[in-house]
Amino acid sequence: MTLMNRRALLAAGAAATFTAASAPALSPALAKTVLQAAPDRAAVIAAMKRATRFMTDEAAVEGGYVWNVLPDFSRRWGELEASPTMIWVQPPGTATVGHAFLDAYHATGDEQFYEAAKSATDALVRGQHPAGGWNYVIDTAGEESLKRWYATYGKNAWRMEEFHRYYGNATFDDAGTAEASQLLLRVYLEKRERKYRAPLDKAIQFVLDAQYANGGWPQRYPFVQGGGVHGHEDYTPYITFNDDVAGENLEFLLYAYQGLAVNGRGDARLLDAIHRGMDIYVKTQQPMPQPAWGLQHFPDTLKPAGARTIEPQAFATHTTGANIKSMLGFYRLTGDRKYLTRLPEALDWLDQVKTPQNLIAPGRTHPTFILEGSNTPVYIHRRGSNITNGQYYADANPNNLIVHYGSFRNVDTAALRREYEELAAQSPEEASRNSPLKARAGSLKLPKYFTLQDVDVWDMSSDARRLAKPAPGRAAELVAGLNARGYWPSPLTTTSNPYIGEAPAAVTGGEYQTTRVGDLWDTSPYNTDYPVECVSTQVFIRNMGELIETLAG
């Protein structure tokens, strides 16, 4: 739901970790039967209500959700394995499920869906940080219980460095705070229930408070002392573009500016923050001969900064491509040509640093990281077997790379260049004719649906429906595939080692250079050849969306 083209979490699974495949296809005989008996509107809504009832009455923990659970609820996962009292904020967690419920309400008018959306929102409000944002997770048993989880499962997930320590603050990473804030805004605007206005105002204030004067946003806020892991300086205060932190915040602020306007007047603070947030892209583009961006930048010098140990201090080609795309969008929003001025330089640079022909892999055009001052690509490796004895490092060797973080990316510079040339040929007035930023405050409504496609601010005052409609018979297949308990059985294609204690200093025998998980002490998720049945929020959201599309006609 990014301002300019956020990765589609619902389509691809969140962070490429715990994923559940779609429900198994029906047998040919049953498929033929359901195709011949397409369900009517009442049957589709009844199935949606039954699936929702299972989620709210059985799968939820105090109104909140993780990503996947075993049918007997003996194990639960978000990005990592969760304790029984935890709920997940990262998509596709609690807020994403809440958006799906609200979408179902918009499609049907049935109050059960609205109450389910409120229940998810209430869970997020109870877990809202006092400063106004959200952490990746909420522990309904309290902060001491959450600290114990961080000291066990989080600390020992070798490759998941963002979980290695308890910060006690909130994060903009992975759209958790942005998506929770958007759900709060939607639920409040639905019926203007007063109880949601104070937490919504607090969420807005959090985005404003966390923004640097120069317009950038850190990854986490409020700042804490003594951060960092593995002897590395804490990277979370740096200006962050990774995972579209800035774009997500800009999108939420623009939604709030339009949605909360009174008598044609929007909050001037939001408008100022939006303009400064766009301008940080201009300020952080580096000078020639490397007119690019990093995943993060130092707040004072605005130079590229390192982040996790798998993310060295370097330029990032995919971030550079994403920022070019965003700045093209900023020109459409504002009509200000400053967002176009140096884009040809960045495009030329991307062409210069393309992957050498002998290293090109299918679908990959560029090395991920390019060193400052030399245009030398570096690649990510690891050694050891767990968090205690293992290390990540970067060098010029393109072999034996880690597989859970790509050392190569696909950046379609030709498509970006075509889009730039098309926009550059347009006058400011022509380019920004349909800008939601220039529209009269309060004249645009939020998109009707948030989970049918990867919505953004250009979908305001529209249904935001999918371009491709469900295949004929899909609704019948989904209605028939809902089991007796009320969920769509899905194979859990990834799993994790349970926590068994502190990882030993001795390296365990085995080869862990290119695996997603280390030895038995590593609690990181990994792909399994032996999937078991699970209940998946991602599958629930996707299937509900297909049924909503069926109802919408």
Residue 462 scores a pLDDT above 80:
yes
Phi-psi region at 283: left, alpha or beta (left = phi > 0; alpha = psi -120 to 50): alpha
The answer on pLDDT for 363 being more than 90 is no
Which band of pLDDT confidence, cut at 50, 70 and 90, is reported for residue 359?
confident
> Higher pLDDT residue, 539 or 10?
539
Lowest mean pLDDT among 50-54, 247-251, 448-452, 471-475: 471-475
pLDDT at 24 over 90: no
- Quick one: which H or E segment has residue 148? helix 143-149
- Bridge partners (DSSP) of residue 69 are 76, 535
For residue 37, what pLDDT is reported? 67
Span 394-412, pLDDT tens digits: 999 999 999 999 999 999 9
Beta-bridge partner residues of 240: 296
Q: Tell which wins on pLDDT, 174 or 15.
A: 174
Q: Is the pLDDT of residue 509 over 70?
A: yes
Say if residues 99 and 451 touch (Cβ distance below 8 Å). yes
Rounded-to-integer distance, Cα 26 and Cα 53, Å: 23
- Work out the average pLDDT over 122-150: 98
Report pLDDT for 16. 34
Conformational region of residue 169, where left means phi above 0, alpha means psi within -120 to 50, and beta covers everything else = beta
pLDDT of 11 > 50? The answer is no
Q: Give the residue, 401 or 469, on which the prediction is more confident.
A: 401
**pLDDT band for position 229 (50/70/90)?**
low
Query: Which amino acid, residue 168?
Result: G
CA distance readout (Å), 455 to 3, 52, 256, 462: 8, 23, 15, 10
Task: Identify the residue with better confidence: 362 or 524.
Answer: 524
* pLDDT tens per residue, range 69-102: 999 999 999 999 999 999 999 999 999 999 999 9
Helix, coil or strand: residue 63: coil
- Label residue 244 left, alpha or beta by phi (over 0 means left) and psi (-120 to 50 means alpha): left
**Around Cβ 21, how many Cβ atoms within 10 Å?**
15
Which pLDDT value is given to residue 360?
76
Instruction: Enumerate the domain spans of the chain.
Output: 9-552
pLDDT tens readout for residues 187-221: 999 999 999 999 999 999 999 999 999 999 999 99
DSSP string across 207-218: HHHHS-TTS---
pLDDT band at 32 (very low <50, low <70, confident <90, very high): low
Residue 20: pLDDT band (50, 70, 90) is: low
Domain 9-552 class, CATH top level: mainly alpha
Task: Compute the distance between CA of residue 506 and CA of residue 317 in angstroms, rounded to an integer.
Answer: 37
At 15, the pLDDT band (50, 70, 90 cuts) reads very low
As a whole number, mean pLDDT of residues 325-334 equals 98
Residue 10: which pLDDT band, with cuts at 50, 70 and 90? very low
C-alpha span between 401 and 406 (Å, rounded): 8
pLDDT band at 358; cut points 50, 70, 90: confident
> Model pTM?
0.94
Using CA atoms, how far residue 23 sits from 156, 214, 533, in Å, is 32, 47, 10
Q: How confident is the model at residue 6 (pLDDT cuts 50, 70, 90)?
A: very low
DSSP β-bridge partners for residue 395: 379
